[in-house]
Amino acid sequence: MKIIPRKSLQGRLRVPGDKSISHRAAMIAALARGRSLLSNFSTSADCASTLDCLRALGVSVERDGTTVVIEGRGGDLSAPSSALDCGNSGTTMRLLAGILAGQTFSATLTGDESLSRRPMRRIIEPLELMGAKLSSQEGHAPLTVNGQRPLRAIDYEPPVASAQVKSCVLLAGLQAAGCTRIRERVHTRDHTERMLRWFGVPVEEREEGGVRLIALHGPKRFSARDISIPGDISSATFFLAAATLLPGSELVIEEVGLNRTRASVIGFLQKLGADIQIERARVECNEEIGDLRVRGVERLKPTANGANIISGALAAELIDELPALAVVGTRVAGGLEIRDAAELRVKESDRIRTTVENLRAMGAEVEERPDGLRVAGPARLRAAHLESYGDHRIAMAFAVAALTADDASELSGAASVAVSFPEFFDLLEAVSE
Ligand SMILES: O=C(O)C1=C[C@@H](OP(=O)(O)O)[C@@H](O)[C@H](O)C1
Ligand SMILES: C=C(OP(=O)(O)O)C(=O)O
């Protein structure tokens, strides 16, 4: 795909429903007793994989655009007749494994080439501690889960900061006898906790010596409930970045999820000097939501010492936004440094490597590190042949970079955007000047 540089972005848009929340809404509704109506469900291929897997587990799922009606089975799914295909979606595989661990049958989860390379020991270990039996290809999919009921409740500190691991254990905890507890040193997105509470499942949370304890008591049955899903802040990030980098832009992104564990990109960009305002902030279905008004700026200059370093807890909060932020970093006075983000290496692509390769192709001065990168700035990017490496977030981050380049760029593998944001290029065209 050819991407031509643009002068500015103007207008209003909505991004699709949040992918993380949509996965959880569908899975938890499938476990509830009765019918739930999900509105503004994500249009992503990843969430379609979740719906297909739930259908294969005997759940009635009706979809009309972004409205999904799920007839929950009250906790008892049925054995699938073939392997469950999770496509490209890590969230589908890791969260479903937690649900399958407490069923009375065995099922196999498969994924595409990228998902089959991603680490699964992080969920195999806690699920086996809970009493399920799992087999894998040396810690990779295909993953067979032999369910056990009831499971044993565990008190578990995940070795990596991962909302998927936390959610997997909490969902298994719904079928475990007693109190399942997760200990988080680095806080991760809390959509599972909020969604379970929305469905009436008490999830306790408290801090103890800098560690967050998250607990639920099982086994637990609960009833269906309708839910409306906010726009995906991770998808909105590409528009926030592009509008910030194109002076003269003014864009309003409506109804975006602003959950504190997800929305750090706003505060971070503001600290770099971006002009972003939150409007009409409110809470819907246990999640904060609001509109984002973003205006382009002439230059990005950190407002405080160290504001252009992403590390520690911030790196975990911004994990899906880092490729786009690395692109923004090329325009920041003093550049941008990303540390403590080794998890990027086990996403849909090795996102440190694929970000560095594309930045270099565009003439940026960038140093690759085991757990991140350092990009020099401010610099103007050159047109280049860019590669998505089959990774949706890399495709969108470098589509944004190409908009700001000195000439037209070529992006291969642009179709991968459908994994999280199928409307991306159409929306970009609609607001580009
Ligand atoms: O729980 C979730 O919905 C997600 C958690 C994160 O992964 P990890 O749990 O592996 O950090 C994130 O990168 C992914 O896009 C979605
Ligand atoms: C890492 C991602 O998703 P998942 O882990 O669900 O494949 C992502 O969407 O960037």
Shared-domain flag, residues 367 and 262: yes
In order, the DSSP letters of 257-324 are E--TTTTHHHHHHHHTT-EEEEEEEEEETTEEEEEEEEE--S-B--SSTTTTEE-HHHHHHTGGGHHH
Which residue ranges of the chain lie beneath pLDDT 50? none
Q: What is the pTM of this model?
A: 0.98
**Hey, what are 359's tokens?**
């930045």
Shared-domain flag, residues 84 and 10: no
Where is the binding site for 3-phosphoshikimate, in residues?
A: 19-20, 24, 162, 164, 320, 347
Shared-domain flag, residues 269 and 161: no
Instruction: In whole angstroms, give the CA distance from residue 366 to residue 377.
Output: 10
Shared-domain flag, residues 406 and 302: yes
**Hey, what are 355's tokens?**
């970000």
Give the CA angle between residues 372, 373, 379 to the nearest 5°: 150
Does 189 contact ligand 2 (Cβ within 6 A)? no
Shared-domain flag, residues 360 and 371: yes
Closest ligand 1 atom number to CA of residue 234: 15
The domain boundary, picked from 192, 212, 228, lies at: 228
**Hey, what are 31's tokens?**
């476990």
Shared-domain flag, residues 79 and 219: yes
Q: Of how many residues is the chain composed?
A: 433
pLDDT at position 150: 94
Shared-domain flag, residues 76 and 163: yes
Q: Could you tell which of 348, 350, 354 is best to mutate to test the pocket of ligand 2, judged by most ligand atoms within 8 Å of the CB?
A: 348
Shared-domain flag, residues 296 and 414: yes
Shared-domain flag, residues 298 and 351: yes
**Hey, what are 309's tokens?**
């370093």
Segments forming the whole domain that contains residue 405 = 2-16+230-431
Instruction: In whole angstroms, give the CA distance from residue 239 to residue 251.
Output: 8
256, 224, 275, 322: which is closest to 25 by C-alpha?
224
Shared-domain flag, residues 212 and 291: no
Does 94 contact ligand 2 (Cβ within 6 A)? no
Shared-domain flag, residues 91 and 75: yes
18, 63, 15: which is closest to 36 by C-alpha?
63
The domain boundary, picked from 207, 228, 249, lies at: 228
Output the CA 91–ligand 1 centroid distance in Å. 6
Domain count, the chain: 2
The domain boundary, picked from 193, 228, 263, lies at: 228
Q: Are 253 and 236 in contact (CB under 8 A)?
A: yes
pLDDT, one tens digit per residue, over 4-61 is 999 999 999 999 999 999 999 999 999 999 999 999 999 999 999 999 999 999 999 9
Closest ligand 1 atom number to CA of residue 20: 3
pLDDT at position 397: 98
Q: ipTM score of the complex?
A: 0.99
357, 321, 362: which is closest to 341 by C-alpha?
321
Shared-domain flag, residues 307 and 359: yes
Whether 350 is catalytic: no
pLDDT, one tens digit per residue, over 348-403 is 999 999 999 999 999 999 999 999 999 999 999 999 999 999 999 999 999 999 99
Instruction: In whole angstroms, give the CA distance from residue 8 to residue 1.
Output: 20
Q: What is the CATH number of the domain that holds 392?
A: 3.65.10.10
